[in-house]
Amino acid sequence: MTRFLLRRLAQSLVLLWLVSVIGFAVLHLAPGGPLAEFTLIPGMTTAQLKLIAHQMGLDRPLPVQYWEWFRRMLAGNWGRSYRDSQPVLYVIAAHLWPTLELMVSSTVIAILLGTWVGVLGAIRRYSVFDYLATVGAMIALSIPTFWFGLVVIYIFSVKLAWLPAGNLYTIGNGSFLDYAVHLISPSIVLALVTIAIWSRYLRASMLEVVNQDYIRTARAKGVPEQTILFRHTIRNALLPMITIAGLQLPTLLSGALVTETVFTWPGMGRLFLDSIGYRDYPVVMGILMFSAVLVLLGNLAADLLYAAADPRIRLD
Amino acid sequence: MAVATETPPRVSPARRARSRALARFVRHRLALFGLGAIIVLVLLCAVGPYIWPYNDLRIDIRHRFAEPFMSAHILGADALGRDLFARLMIAGRVSLTVGFAAMAISTVIGTFVGTIAGYFGGAIGSMLMRFVDAVLCFPSIFLLLALAAFVQPNLFTITLVIAATAWMEVARVVEAQIRSLRERDFALAAKVLGASDAHIMFHELLPNAVAPIVVASTLNVARAILLEAYVSFLGYGIQPPTPSWGNMLNNAQEYLATAPWLALLPGLFIILAVTGFNFVGDGLRDALDPRLDIT
């Protein structure tokens, strides 16, 4: 266990370092680099720009600059927002909660619905339901999230007026029910892609488990089919899904950005988009790095959970 | 003890064989449908604007927000009275071009990186593949926006930026293929005969990896069209007045209550195109490379 843990950690650290190199490259390859914001100020001369570049240390060799940036990042100094001079990590933390809320609620919806579709598709293989689920999943993966969001708003907010069209809560209300009602549409919209992916992988996983010897043994022992399905098949089929869930994190974050934009949801995705609009370079870089680290940790956590949940996995 | 209320269907072998055939047939039909949709869309966007009487940029204030099927503007008109069908066709040219071009570029990059990594293996190979893993740690839309926001957005740069965020899957597929092909007898024979590394990689191994590359590229067109739609919808892709299916939607939210077709129609075109490529890609995967089948 310890050896596995150490090796996975070492691999993650190498990836983290590569992520930082790519992040730094994006920062410096962009025309203007970290100076982009200053070039927009009227009356800025080249000489003054040079002076700023010197003050920011941008005239030093790239490896030195990289080392400085990396060192400060590790120490938690991710710079300050150009917009309001708040520390970048503070700004991210302030916008993290709504995004997490959205991701968690949509994941719960997706796992419940996706499991239902996937299990039913597997036990009624090649049935009409199975075909509809297969074709439906492929179409769901082809629908742009923002378009689906607009359709949901059109139907449930404009036509039926059942659900609010956006925001975290109604100003002046803010009760728990009000929060919950605002969460419904964006969660469903964000869940669509995950439902499709989850149900497809679970169906495949179920079909694999069904052919295992222990299922045949259980059947030979006369265990009722329902018990076999719930106790043995589904439980075992869900195990590898832990890894799938971990791998979905980048997709989920991308989807959250788009969903937050459509539903004016004040989360990290919208912060990212707004920061790009303001050319708020430190925040853009901060969120880019933060999301990559989140993805990395998510994958690591999924691996460890999988190993912990399945005693057959040898950890060395 | 609860009694089992439901048992998995125990079907006769004959019925199962028929179901299998049906499954193949339906999948095949889906791929054909996808191909049909793509051909219709490409023809429509290529030829349509020459035949259709309206110009995509002609402003016609008297017909602002004309509803679909109610006037000569068959699919309605936007806030400036511009014909929506004409705009959708021109936008289709842009979106499909970006999709195909980004696919071509990302396939070349991915194939190159994958071939080098798979053939040489060792330090070079694992370094390249760890780089691929690292790029995949960034949520694609975040990376896409960060890159797109700092270039002058036009057809060319947006295509490049999309390609830069879409080549990694191809690299992974190619790397795995080349790594296994490298050990095969014909590759060893070529090596013994004194063939150069470049010759073995690109003339001996790569032709044998074409099938999964074709599958990945087809799915990549779908992905590229979607990414273009996302980045343009968010305002950092193709810039108006040039229409693209994505940027036609970026003002549509304001008019959702009064002119919902402005939001619905471009989305339907995107879905048709993307589903088309996904169906074809899936059909090709079944036909060319059954081992990759996950569904």
Residues with Cβ within 8 Å of residue A207, at least 6 apart in sequence: A122, A125
Amino acid at A213: D
SS3 B243: coil
pLDDT, one tens digit per residue, over B116-142 is 999 998 888 888 999 999 999 899 899
* Contacts across the A-B interface (CB distance below 8 Å): 169
Alpha-carbon distance B101 to B103, whole Å? Answer: 5
| A226 interface with B at CB cutoff 8 Å | yes
Give the burial string for A115-153 (b: 16+ CB within 10 Å, else e).
bebbbbbbbebbeeebbebbbebbebbbbbbbbbbbbbb
Transcribe B158-180 into DSSP letters.
HHHHHHHTT-HHHHHHHHHHHHH
In this prediction, residue B77 carries a pLDDT of 75
Nearest CB neighbour to B9, from listed A124, A131, A142 = A124
Q: Where are the alpha helices (DSSP H) in chain A?
A: 2-29, 36-39, 46-55, 62-74, 88-123, 128-140, 145-152, 176-210, 213-220, 225-227, 235-238, 241-247, 249-262, 268-277, 281-309
For A115, half-sphere exposure in the C-beta direction (CA atoms, 13 angstrom radius) is: 17
The reply to whether ipTM tops 0.90 is: no
In a domain, B25, yes or no: yes
| A150 interface with B at CB cutoff 8 Å | yes
Alpha-carbon distance values, B197 to B28, B171, B182, B200, B214 (Å): 39, 19, 11, 5, 24
In a domain, B70, yes or no: yes
> Are the beta carbons of B61 and B81 closer than 8 angstroms?
yes
For A208, half-sphere exposure in the C-beta direction (CA atoms, 13 angstrom radius) is: 15
| B192 interface with A at CB cutoff 8 Å | no
> Are the beta carbons of A259 and A189 closer than 8 angstroms?
yes
Hey, are the CB atoms on A142 and B222 less than 8 Å from each other? yes
In a domain, B12, yes or no: no
What are A137's two structure tokens? 């999943």
> Are the beta carbons of B162 and B98 closer than 8 angstroms?
yes
> Are the beta carbons of B247 and B262 closer than 8 angstroms?
no
SS3 A299: helix
Instruction: State percent of chain B over pLDDT 70.
Output: 85
CATH number of the domain enclosing B164: 1.10.3720.10
In a domain, B203, yes or no: yes
> Are the beta carbons of B284 and B35 closer than 8 angstroms?
no
Hey, are the CB atoms on A273 and B145 less than 8 Å from each other? yes
Expressed as residue numbers, the domain containing B270 is 21-287
| A45 interface with B at CB cutoff 8 Å | no
In this prediction, residue A4 carries a pLDDT of 74
Q: Which residue has the tokens 């030195």?
A: A64
In a domain, B3, yes or no: no
> Are the beta carbons of B150 and A278 closer than 8 angstroms?
no
Chain B residue at shortest CA distance from A126: B19
pLDDT tens over chain A, length 316 residues: 677 778 878 888 888 889 888 888 887 877 767 777 677 777 777 788 788 878 777 777 888 888 888 888 888 888 888 888 888 899 999 999 999 999 999 999 999 999 999 999 888 888 888 889 988 999 999 999 999 999 998 888 888 878 777 777 777 776 778 777 788 889 999 999 999 999 999 998 888 888 888 888 888 888 888 888 888 888 888 888 888 888 888 889 999 899 999 898 888 999 999 988 888 888 888 898 899 988 988 888 888 888 777 777 655 4
Hey, are the CB atoms on A254 and B23 less than 8 Å from each other? no
| B270 interface with A at CB cutoff 8 Å | yes
In this prediction, residue A12 carries a pLDDT of 84
Radius of gyration of chain B (CA): 24
> Are the beta carbons of B28 and B280 closer than 8 angstroms?
no
| A136 interface with B at CB cutoff 8 Å | no
Count of domains observed in chain B:
1
In a domain, B16, yes or no: no
In a domain, B46, yes or no: yes
Identify the band that residue B2 occupies on the pLDDT scale cut at 50, 70 and 90.
very low
Chain B residue at shortest CA distance from A264: B253
| B160 interface with A at CB cutoff 8 Å | no
Residues with Cβ within 8 Å of residue B124, at least 6 apart in sequence: B116, B117
In this prediction, residue A165 carries a pLDDT of 77
Count CB atoms within 10 A of the CB of residue B154. 12
β strands within A22-163, DSSP E: none
Q: Which residue has the tokens 């490409």?
A: B42
- Taking the domain A94-270, which CATH number applies? 1.10.3720.10
Domain ranges of chain A: 94-270
Hey, are the CB atoms on A139 and B271 less than 8 Å from each other? yes
Candidates A13, A147, A259, A296, partner chain B, best to mutate (most B CBs within 10 A): A147
Hey, are the CB atoms on A224 and B136 less than 8 Å from each other? no
Hey, are the CB atoms on A147 and B267 less than 8 Å from each other? yes
Sort out which chain A residues have CB atoms less than 8 A from B3's CB and list them: 224
Hey, are the CB atoms on A143 and B271 less than 8 Å from each other? yes
